[in-house]
Structure 1
Amino acid sequence: MNAGIEGLDGARERRVVCGGVELCVVELGDAARPTVVLLHGYPDSKEVWARVAGRLRDRFHVVLYDVRGCGASTAPKPLRGGFTLEKLTDDFLAVADAVSPGAPVHLVGHDWGSVQGWEFATVRRTEGRIASFTSISGPALDHLGHWIAERVARPTPRRSAQLLGQGARSWYVYAMHTPRLPEALWRGPLGRRWPGMLERVEKLPAGGYPTASLPRDAAHGLWLYRDNVRARVRRPRPDAYAHVPVQLIVPTGDPYLSQRLYDGLERWAPSLRRRTVAAGHWVPRTRPDRLAAWIAEFVTDQETAREDGAGAGGAARAARGGAAPAGTTPAGPYAQRFGGQLVLVTGAASGIGRATVFAFAEAGARVVAVDRDAEGAARTAEMARLTGAPQAWAECVDVADEQAMEKLAEQVAQEYGVVDVLVNNAGVAVAGSFLDTPAEDWRRVLDVNLWGVIHGCRVFGRQMAGRGQGGHIVNTASAAAFAPSRALPAYSTSKAAVLMLSECLRAELAGRGIGVTAVCPGIVDTGITRSTRFVGVPEEEQERHRAGASRAYARRNYPPEKVADAILRAVLENRAVVPVTPEAHVLRALSRFAPRVQRALGRIEPRLQ
């Protein structure tokens, strides 16, 4: 039987009966593949997962079901006592046995689906039926009880602030326990206004969610709180240890749950992988691309570990350029911030661009390497997969081509999702006096160095703003943006324009949660000198000048990897302007405090021998 869920053609529906309740179960994909069960929260139904499920169906057997009393599932009679975690565990086991009788399932839960998932992952009777658990925006009630008890027993100022802060965020939980009034509100004005409230507050995209059953679902789901919260928080289980690997995804902008709730979670989940995402509470709707990538990576890791064994699995993953071993996070200080994010870098075939792709890959980001050199971009993407990127792609585009950039943005959004971090790095150089520089050289420098940045900011910045979940744009300027130079008028002009463009964009996009950084490297040992055009000299002198410039840069010996690290740190700290290399810091300081000295230095003609 086909089930009509937003954008999920070919979904198969079945009914599973447990304890007198009929559960509506929907399946997608090949049942012979690993099974991923997506469990919704309150006041949702299975449709909240539609956009994530659509991204997983080609790789996994995806299962969604309506919790008892929600969507197309029936409600227990009476409602009181019919929503205990014990009965919800019965439902899960019945569904798991029906859809995957011969293998454990990978469980993913959001909100109350995550609360249930923690129960399933920590009770003995589910051992062997769950292969992994991904928790999103929903702590275990037992862990919450211990968290509260520890802060009440030792009320330091910090712990007291954490307790009071979460208490204020949990105002709705107290309201849920009020007799009759919440039901009346959900079946009346709140039920009618809820979709609009979500759209305004969470900026949820339109689609088949929420469904028409929302008022009834929300009224029934109140018993999730009433049947479980007080009992578990007052008397938490002392043995609530996860018996499966756990991936924790924490939205940093969740108005209902403090990030501090998960402090010390390693005690309860020894095999824990923690992620953060810049989003609100309803991540399955606002960031389906990110969730699907993280879920796929985590599930694949666990399946590989089960097939190969812990040691052999790690070697096999390394050979394939896969992710880190099960239960770990990608190496490096940036993994928690960038793991699973989608990062696009232009000028990625060599130099700073390639080093930046590798740095994000090491942090566990999904990367898109863009360059007009198709082979170079492909090599960068291949090496990024070996470096640690869960996914890496190569695209051949000239950033100066506006239409090509528009098509690239559409393609990336459709195939990989909305870019989280954009690095406009592509650049070319022309050296020589202003009077000797032909108009066509000026056009090429400005087309790539300035218009390439403008095109990237426009097409990808528009997508970031439309998504409404923030992002970051990095524009590679130069230390030449700070200082006049008789030898680099075209290059310096283009980079100064990039610096000002970045400052203007930062002011405009700050209210949308999008950071903008101008990175200004000095003399860095890259290949740009080997392709620099020197004007005003005979053609036979070009190679001699390029060789001299390359030797000077090589003697400076400042590697592009240091610039890449500065880029990641700048995004992490949301910095506006980042000089890189000592000479860049000096030139910026002179531009501020000693401009006459800087102008005098600009009159010096460099000698490249």
Structure 2
Amino acid sequence: MTLEGARERRVRTGGVELSVAELGDPGRPTVVLVHGYPDSKEVWSEVATRLAGRFHVVLYDVRGHGRSTAPRPLRGGFTLEKLTDDFLAVVDAVSPDRPVHLVGHDWGSVQSWEFVAVRRTEGRIASFTSMSGPSLDHFGHWIKKRMRRPTPRRAGQLLGQGARSWYVYLLHTPALPELMWRGPLGSRWPEMLRRAEKIAAGDYPAPTLPSDAAHGAWLYRDNVRPRVRHPRADAYAHAPVQLITPLEDQFLSQRLYDELEGWVPQLTRRTLPAGHWIPRTRPDQVASWIGEFVTSVEGGDPAPAANGPYADRFGGQLVLVTGAGSGIGRATALAFARAGARVVAVDRDPRSAAGTAEQARLHGAPEAWAEQADVSDEQAMEKLAERVVANHGVVDVLVNNAGIGLSGSFFDTTAEDWRTVLDVNLWGVLHSCRLFGKQMAERGQGGHIVNVASAAAYQPSRTLPAYSTSKAAVLMLSECLRAELADQDIGVTAICPGFVHTNITSTARFTGVDAEEEKRRQKRATRLYGLRGYPPEKVAAAILRAVVRNQPVVPVTPEAHALRLVSRFAPSALRMMARWEARL
């Protein structure tokens, strides 16, 4: 396993020898990661490295998988009781004096439900995070309830999950799964995963995949039918549980967890728009939620719970906002924070960025960081993109908000004025889209780019030629990118605010006038925008809504909507309006 600094050990139990890897400081809380089918512990490599800086992380190959040995005979060697023996042997070896925080995915989660609900593990498990794997006991009761009291809705749920579970029936057939996995399926599985789940190549799957999958078929044969037919009545969790549900899981219905509160006294629910293999496709988000949950259970000081709109949509996602030090940028960063997103606040003023990051944590962001960068500086943006992906992962939502204002006639606007405005308002957006958008595309898991343009993008003005041109270019860039990136599930939105009360008016430049007159015009513009009183928080709300709905162009404020409508159906009217001496 390509885990830098991992310490390997062998643990003997029940006639098998388990391969165990450890990372991080053993003096810190221990997090045990249990893999699913047909995986080995390599499925956790990216999550483990992200957790190792804060926790003692333990991964082990389930019996018959990876570098662990298989029981002999295979039949009856994979029962939940024997898997529980293995788990206890591992935790006794790696954390003999303290309970561990258990994390399971797929069949790792199925068996971990057993661990957290049997008496002999009480006091050994501090918390449990479940991903894409239900308790077989809960599943059995779920089926029985729908069969005893059938309704059209319950019948639909049964049929729906039955269709999703097609592979379970195949795995119960004699010899066929073993032949398929050791034959063509084993060699084609990595490519199938890449296409279906968009999992990038790397140290996963492990070379032992064919034998792992062949042995793992006995997980189903030894456990599914006995437990589903005769589920335990006392399968109650004796530790806090965090449930992470991928909304696009093609194998498990969300309805399986409808009655989970009855089995779990302390339950935290999370959802994310992703497929089944989230330890590989969303390692940064999964690691963030695990870390937050473990810290909370350990009695630390976790971030306030997300309570804003769209918390189910953005919880744990990584959102980067440029120009986040004030105005629309800060309001947007805080709106995503309230939705539970992890926030990177970027601004050329490091103190303003730090202030936004601090507020984001107070507003519900599980993590928030400040980054100083001038968006017009290509090399600075390249270094920013490298730092962000190395330290926090690939950005899920990019908000290009940084911008400056410039007012003055065309002949009063110098070439240097044009360069300054275009460098920030256009090139800043180009740099971010190229760098962070490319990372999204290479990851293959989709994402969203928001470019903050302006109603000036489609409203010509005799006094705003440079500003309007830069924003019109951003609008067209957004439309072009949206067309190019649609096939990669990356949405692109142009936000076009009208008159919004921010500090852009107090910092905007006015050409063709002396310094005293420029200050007077800045104060006048600030006063007028203040009287308009449209807050940046409403623009932020529109940005979150636009990402959820994947909208292409979003005018914000009544005048922006009106101008957009006129630009499409009566452009000559806008040309007449352009002759007025409008102010920024």
TM-score over 0.5 for the pair: yes
User: Structure 2: where are the runs of 5+ without partners?
Assistant: none
Alignment of 1:391-406 (within 5 A): 391-406=367-382
Q: 1:564 aligns with which of 540, 543, 548?
A: 540
Q: Hey, what does 2:341 align to over in structure 1?
A: 365
Q: Hey, what does 1:509 align to over in structure 2?
A: 485
Determine the C-alpha separation between the residues in 1 that align with 2:263 and 2:459: 56
Find out whether 1:334 has 2:314 as its counterpart. Answer: no
Alignment of 1:152-163 (within 5 A): 152-163=147-158
Question: How many angstroms does 1:607 deviate by?
Answer: 6.9
Question: How many angstroms does 1:174 deviate by?
Answer: 0.4
Q: 2:227 aligns with which of 227, 232, 238?
A: 232
Find out whether 1:377 has 2:353 as its counterpart. Answer: yes
Q: Hey, what does 2:366 align to over in structure 1?
A: 390
Find out whether 1:200 has 2:198 as its counterpart. Answer: no
SS at match of 1:77: coil
Q: Hey, what does 2:205 align to over in structure 1?
A: 210
Letter in 2 for 1:578: V
- Deviation string, structure 1 residues 484-540 (Cα, Å, up to 9, x no partner): 222212111211221121122112111111111111111111100011111122222
SS at match of 1:304: coil
Alignment of 1:296-375 (within 5 A): 296-304=291-299, 317=301, 322-324=302-304, 329-375=305-351
Q: Hey, what does 1:121 align to over in structure 2?
A: 116
Q: Hey, what does 1:433 align to over in structure 2?
A: 409
- Deviation string, structure 1 residues 215-250 (Cα, Å, up to 9, x no partner): 221111111001111112222223322222211222
Alignment of 1:524-543 (within 5 A): 524-543=500-519
Q: 1:146 aligns with which of 130, 141, 151?
A: 141
Please say which of residues 468-477 and 83-92 is displaced more in the overlay.
Answer: 83-92
Letter in 1 for 2:24: G
- Deviation string, structure 1 residues 532-567 (Cα, Å, up to 9, x no partner): 111122222000000000000111111111111111
Q: Hey, what does 1:311 align to over in structure 2?
A: none
- Deviation string, structure 1 residues 458-493 (Cα, Å, up to 9, x no partner): 111110010000111111011212312222121112
Determine the C-alpha separation between the residues in 2 that align with 1:502 and 1:263: 40
Question: How many angstroms does 1:26 deviate by?
Answer: 1.6
Identical columns (%):
73
Determine the C-alpha separation between the residues in 2 that align with 1:537 and 1:10: 63
Q: 1:104 aligns with which of 99, 102, 115?
A: 99
Confirm or deny: 8 A CA contact 1:359 1:565 kept in the other structure: yes
Confirm or deny: 8 A CA contact 1:477 1:496 kept in the other structure: yes
Determine the C-alpha separation between the residues in 1 that align with 2:266 and 2:314: 20
Determine the C-alpha separation between the residues in 2 that align with 1:353 and 1:90: 53
Q: Hey, what does 2:125 align to over in structure 1?
A: 130
SS at match of 1:71: coil
C-alpha change, 1:573 and 1:265, in structure 2 (3 Å) is farther
Question: How many angstroms does 1:371 deviate by?
Answer: 1.2
SS at match of 2:410: coil
Instruction: Report how many residues are paired.
Output: 584
Letter in 2 for 1:67: V
Q: 1:71 aligns with which of 61, 66, 75?
A: 66
Q: Hey, what does 1:20 align to over in structure 2?
A: 15
User: Structure 1: where are the runs of 5+ without partners?
Assistant: 306-316
Determine the C-alpha separation between the residues in 2 that align with 1:553 and 1:140: 57
Letter in 1 for 2:506: R
Question: How many angstroms does 1:578 deviate by?
Answer: 1.5
- Deviation string, structure 1 residues 149-188 (Cα, Å, up to 9, x no partner): 3333444443333322222221111000001111111222
Normalised by the size of structure 1, how large is the TM-score? 0.92
Determine the C-alpha separation between the residues in 1 that align with 2:482 and 2:260: 37
Letter in 2 for 1:566: A
Determine the C-alpha separation between the residues in 2 that align with 1:358 and 1:74: 50
C-alpha change, 1:533 and 1:27, in structure 2 (3 Å) is same
Confirm or deny: 8 A CA contact 2:21 2:58 kept in the other structure: yes
SS at match of 1:605: coil
Q: Hey, what does 2:397 align to over in structure 1?
A: 421
Confirm or deny: 8 A CA contact 1:278 1:470 kept in the other structure: no
Confirm or deny: 8 A CA contact 2:303 2:362 kept in the other structure: no
Determine the C-alpha separation between the residues in 2 that align with 1:247 and 1:80: 32
Q: Hey, what does 1:220 align to over in structure 2?
A: 215
C-alpha change, 1:217 and 1:606, in structure 2 (3 Å) is closer
Question: How many angstroms does 1:299 deviate by?
Answer: 0.8
- Deviation string, structure 1 residues 382-428 (Cα, Å, up to 9, x no partner): 22222222221111111112222122111111111100110000000
Question: How many angstroms does 1:277 deviate by?
Answer: 2.6
Q: 1:185 aligns with which of 162, 167, 180?
A: 180
Normalised by the size of structure 2, how large is the TM-score? 0.96
Question: How many angstroms does 1:443 deviate by?
Answer: 1.6
Determine the C-alpha separation between the residues in 1 that align with 2:308 and 2:237: 26
Determine the C-alpha separation between the residues in 1 that align with 2:581 and 2:411: 15
| CA-atom RMSD in angstroms | 1.7
Q: 1:491 aligns with which of 455, 467, 472?
A: 467
Confirm or deny: 8 A CA contact 1:39 1:46 kept in the other structure: yes
Please say which of residues 591-600 and 359-368 is displaced more in the overlay.
Answer: 591-600
Confirm or deny: 8 A CA contact 1:274 1:336 kept in the other structure: no
Confirm or deny: 8 A CA contact 2:460 2:468 kept in the other structure: yes
Confirm or deny: 8 A CA contact 2:272 2:315 kept in the other structure: no
